[in-house]
Amino acid sequence: MRRTALYSSSRAGRASEASASSEAEPAAAPAGPVQPSRISLSSPRLLWAAIALLTVLLLVTLSLSLRPLQRKLTQADINAAVLKTMETQVMPSEYARAYENIRPSVVRVISYVKKSRLKEEKDLKSAKLAVKPKALGPAPGAGPNPTDDEEVEHGVGTGVVIIDKGVILTNLHVVSGADRIKVVFSDGLESSASITAAQPENDLAVLQAAKIPDDMIAATMRSTNDLAPGDKVLAVGFPFGIGPSASGGVISGLRRVFRSPEGKQEMKNLIQFDAAANPGNSGGPLVTMDGEVVGIVTAILNPTPARTFLGIAFAVPIENAAAAAGLPPF
């Protein structure tokens, strides 16, 4: 006889649990997208912070909208500004600018001789004029005189510094025969100087100063190849010891020939100019409107005994002057 199959009661328990769980699931909330949490402005601090931020943004927006647009600068604007400046401000002249450029390099040159030498020269000149019999024995009051060794000023001229180590160009006749030479720089510094080179055919001498200023500025030299009659020039020096003085004019001619009044020397290839020059200008620079040296003032043409300026002066081209100092040509 076939036995009836027996089943465990756990199945029924599981089924009851599943039915119970299925009945409980509808009670749960249906799944869906998560909503973001909202920021609450219920706090006074957050509210005022938001108001402040909005105010700042509003002010920035207003300032940007009210700011005028920058116009592009044109050449017409630049010309108008320059013209306005020229109308309202006094501009220095060409001569004034040239003078300011060369002034730090210009020096006063003073030569000294001993009284004893002057006395000898005077006695020699007197002896040539009239030969008188010499008395026997010493002259009354004869003997060594301490004042004979004193130095007296023999001449004043001008020089220009061409190398910042204290190398100075001047005229040979300014320092020739001097027992002592002194130079005075633009800042007032005084120094002894010695002759280191000479070019007699061009009446040039090169001096070396024993002391120089700390901020010594040498002049700029320029070739004379492009010079032409009518070009503006400036002569700077110490006429009659007064200065530094400046006088302006133009180049009157080139490659001129000058013979000294005594007829002892003839100089060639000179620059002729009409800027006022007098005794004391000798050795000074002749400069262009850029303040660059093109010549060394050396002579004036005046057939009268006055030896003053009549409108014609001469300068040695700077090429010759530079050669006297051992500098290479331009």
Catalytic residues: 173, 203, 282
Q: How far is CA 114 from CA 61, 121, 160, 178, 306, in A?
A: 89, 11, 26, 9, 27
Residue type, 151: E
Q: What is the residue whose two structure tokens read 């019999």?
A: 133
Find out whether the peptide bond into 244 is cis, omega within 30 degrees of 0.
yes
Query: Cα separation of 330 and 328, whole Å?
Result: 7
Query: Cα separation of 272 and 254, whole Å?
Result: 6
For residue 89, the 8-state DSSP code is S
**Token pair for 240:** 């009659």
Q: How many CB atoms lie within 10 A of CB 161?
A: 26
**Token pair for 37:** 């949490």
Q: What contacts 140, CB < 8 A, 6 or more positions away?
A: none
Q: How far is CA 157 from CA 143, 181, 215, 269, in A?
A: 35, 11, 23, 22
Q: Nearest-CA neighbor of 276 among 239, 233, 247, 238?
A: 247
Q: What contacts 92, CB < 8 A, 6 or more positions away?
A: 100
Query: Cα separation of 299 and 172, whole Å?
Result: 12
On whether the CB atoms of residues 160 and 107 are closer than 8 A, the answer is yes
**Token pair for 43:** 């706090």
